[in-house]
Structure 1
């Protein structure tokens, strides 16, 4: 996940240098010495190429997200992460060599391949952490995925400064091959997911050894028995893992996948990508000098890291839904203030712009930055989790691409009002979170699934934020029971349907 953050932040600072490289390559290919020659790429074409350089990363992410679920089932969570390191290394080498080869296309291809790698990571990393973490530590440990993203973002922004690697952009882009190389080595000292080993590979002994290493105790049989209970119940009812179509046709899958998708959209279409990708441009448009604008951009990354650390204890004490809603409402208010600050000129307005943008990042880090990854993994059981994550992550990366490639054109059209569309979207996301998203803090998957039947029509109510009466917290986290059809061959009763949905 560090690579994800690094590649989000690294492309911001060297924009002017890389744009100059694109123009130089075009001039050399056409053997033109006159900078005003009409055969040269127009400014609009160069802007489009730059938008592709920025957003192609998200296209690769969509593809990586689509294959990540399959990869996790085929070779395991750890095995998939190991293979994924080589994808990242190939992409980094291409970007590093682009200057020597005088090819801006290699930057585009390299960022696409890096995007594929990051897309796979956004599936496998949260899934792996969710499956190896104890229920009472699942939230706090899940936030560390986002912490890795924010730390990578900060490192990318700092290294892009003029005094460091700002002018050495091939090294700046290519140095990302170091983290996957280190990850490849470190993964040999990590265990595979015990749930995967037991439920997919049917190896009790390997699962036991993995749990002993994870928990630091020898007596792990009770936890193994809980996982096996889920497996035996699924087998006894002859239920196969759900297909992608089931997420549209099965009520107990459709409602949580809608929540997961909207949560992912709320992470990407809230204006934060405009700050990640184009914060330097935003600050320059506000009248700042280039050095001050670059420094303010680094401040964005630093605030992200600090506030993500702050959110680690809050996520288990305050809850997922509360933090996400708090973050969205705060961003909604500050998006209006950003619009005001961009519309006013002067030194005071410049300072105000930096303050409100940093405040915007604070609210993002507290809620929408980390909660969607965590809650998506929590809404589904072992059998449905891989496909659910693939669907949600595809929407995440798709919206990432949409925001990345459209923002420059929205900015040209709306000028200082560029954040108004995000203001409207933030209002809608906050309303959806308030009315539709259940609280998952400390709940088993059985309890979470039951929330979708807690009110007529299956929409979880605010009173449904507490576990249903009679649901035993000591019961296994990912399984439930199904009920046989009624004797008249009709549909199962509401109670039986509720029990059936817990299996997913």
Structure 2
């Protein structure tokens, strides 16, 4: 194994495809912008689906919505899988957007279902299991992206298509819970004196304002914590820092993330979610400042590279408690 990452392999695909289409090489600035846009289209797709998940879930039901999300995953795999063969940058970008739609629906619907079926006294631990599955998935993805696995110029489309496996496996599970979801709907329909809560009412009714504000701030702080940027660019950051095996270092961060997620399953019910959130937010802010300082001074020698390692490590650990 060497220090190359799938980022470099896909950037080479960008360069080659751009040259074939426009008969000139891509500039470094254009390559950076295109790669950043390709990465961010997932977040864009997730944002769109999160904003519309209430409408989808109310219209089709949670079970059918999960099936719709799985269909989006399979469509995304089809686009990303053929992008290299077709020599199409657009197909890869569309695939990333579709997988973002899938992620947005899943990360909203599945935690809701987990909370519905979890015993109240250990609901926090059950919710953390969802985070654990995500960290395990990230780590498996890092393994698959190694050059002697699927992170090569030949097999990277297959690497991006692995999400189809989980979508296919999840489909029977979604169908199995249909009967239970229908029972929940019957119980909800029997409640008297309730009123349907629309998106507009959430922002108009005074009693909803504080919970909505807290939810928005907490979710925004989680997504703006920098963790996703570290996952997407950790190999490049470590390479710029002069690390001999940056890919392996990134995998180490993923393994530590899993370890502390498991630890948080037992910790969340002991210390409480509010205490962990407040502590995590405070330390995360310090870590982000530490990372900014260390990345800005990568050209220097001395303790700054050490600060980079500490900052990345702490961000990975603290993210498990959000």
- Which structure's CA Rg is the greater one? 1
Match of 2:287 in 1: 334
- 1:84 paired with 2:69, answer yes
The counterpart of 2:151, out of the listed 147, 161, 166, is: 166
Q: Cα deviations across residues 95-146 of structure 1 (Å, max 9, x unaligned)?
A: 1111111111111011111111111112210111111222112111111111
Hey, what's the Cα distance between the residues in 2 that align with 1:247 and 1:115? 25
Match of 1:360 in 2: 315
Residue 233 to residue 186, structure 1, CA distance change in 2 (3 Å): closer
- Where in structure 2 are the equivalents of 1:27-426 lying within 5 Å? 27-30=19-22, 32=23, 39-167=24-152, 168-188=155-175, 190-192=176-178, 194=180, 196-198=181-183, 200=185, 202=186, 231-234=190-193, 239-289=194-244, 292-342=245-295, 343=297, 345-346=300-301, 349-365=304-320, 367-368=321-322
Gaps of 5+ in 1: 1-11, 33-38, 203-226, 369-504
SS in 1 for 2:161: helix
How far is 1:197 from its partner? 2.5
Hey, what's the Cα distance between the residues in 2 that align with 1:52 and 1:184? 31
How far is 1:243 from its partner? 2.1
SS in 2 for 1:240: coil
Residue 199 to residue 357, structure 1, CA distance change in 2 (3 Å): closer
Q: Cα deviations across residues 452-494 of structure 1 (Å, max 9, x unaligned)?
A: xxxxxxxxxxxxxxxxxxxxxxxxxxxxxxxxxxxxxxxxxxx
How many residue pairs end up in the alignment? 315
Indicate the structure with greater helix content.
2
Q: Cα deviations across residues 225-250 of structure 1 (Å, max 9, x unaligned)?
A: xx56x94332xxxx421222212221
Hey, what's the Cα distance between the residues in 2 that align with 1:246 and 1:107? 38
How far is 1:40 from its partner? 3.4
How far is 1:317 from its partner? 1.6
Hey, what's the Cα distance between the residues in 2 that align with 1:156 and 1:103? 23
How far is 1:347 from its partner? 7.2
Hey, what's the Cα distance between the residues in 1 that align with 2:143 and 2:184? 44
Match of 2:15 in 1: 23
Larger deviation: 339-348 or 51-60?
339-348
Q: Cα deviations across residues 161-201 of structure 1 (Å, max 9, x unaligned)?
A: 1221111211111222111111113334x32374x52453x
How far is 1:278 from its partner? 1.1
Gaps of 5+ in 2: none
1:68 touches 1:121 (CA, 8 Å); kept in 2?
no
Q: Give TM-score, length-normalised by structure 2.
A: 0.90
SS in 1 for 2:151: coil
Residue 347 to residue 158, structure 1, CA distance change in 2 (3 Å): farther
1:128 touches 1:193 (CA, 8 Å); kept in 2?
no
1:77 touches 1:193 (CA, 8 Å); kept in 2?
no
Hey, what's the Cα distance between the residues in 1 that align with 2:210 and 2:292? 35
How far is 1:334 from its partner? 2.7
Q: Give TM-score, length-normalised by structure 1.
A: 0.59
Hey, what's the Cα distance between the residues in 1 that align with 2:248 and 2:301? 18
Hey, what's the Cα distance between the residues in 2 that align with 1:138 and 1:157? 30
How far is 1:359 from its partner? 2.1
How far is 1:327 from its partner? 1.3
How far is 1:266 from its partner? 0.9
SS in 2 for 1:245: helix
RMSD: 2.2
SS in 2 for 1:129: helix
Q: Cα deviations across residues 16-72 of structure 1 (Å, max 9, x unaligned)?
A: 111111111121224x4xxxxxx4332222211111110001111112212322222
Match of 1:430 in 2: none
Match of 1:420 in 2: none
Hey, what's the Cα distance between the residues in 1 that align with 2:146 and 2:46? 26
How far is 1:84 from its partner? 1.6
